[in-house]
Amino acid sequence: MAKKQVKQSTEKAETITMDQVSAGGVAFRWQGSEPEMVIVSVKPKMRWQLPKGIVDPGETPEITAVREVREEAGVETDLIALIEAIEYWYRAVKYGKPVRYHKFVHFYLLQYRSGDVSDHDLEVAEARWVSFDKAIEMLAFESERKVVEKAREMIAAMGRE
């Protein structure tokens, strides 16, 4: 008996490359003589990270950083300075097609003005104030741990106002 031939597709889904720009920050306040900062645990992966999000059309990275910290961490802040912009690549699926993203994230030093970390939005499981040492222990991404180290140096150079 003859075998039935099965035609196999050799077409691969074409991967497109897109740039993506986000912004966020290290929001800090003074607790006694030491600064502390906000970190967030974002659903569904439940990993600790700095608050950040995509720069919306018409926004600057500075505006986005302040907005995202307010939305994800529940606190109002004043922008002090750019800490650093990092970049990396990741893959995802958008509209059923594979996408390779070249991501740029602008991180800013932000000083706490008001608000409560319990007032975060729904995508965040928890926001909390922690020491800089604890943040470095808890943060999931090495690049963000390096940002926190730079923020700590900037705060030390500023001194307490």
Q: Give φ, ψ of 8 to 5 degrees.
A: -100, 135
Q: 106: Cβ–Cβ under 8 A, 6 or more apart, which residues? A: 21, 22, 23, 24, 61, 62, 64, 65, 82, 85
Count of positions (residues) in the chain: 161
Dist CA 51 CA 74 (whole Å): 10
pLDDT of residue 13: 63
pLDDT of residue 11: 47
Residue ranges of the chain with per-residue pLDDT less than 50: 6-11
Which pTM was predicted? 0.87
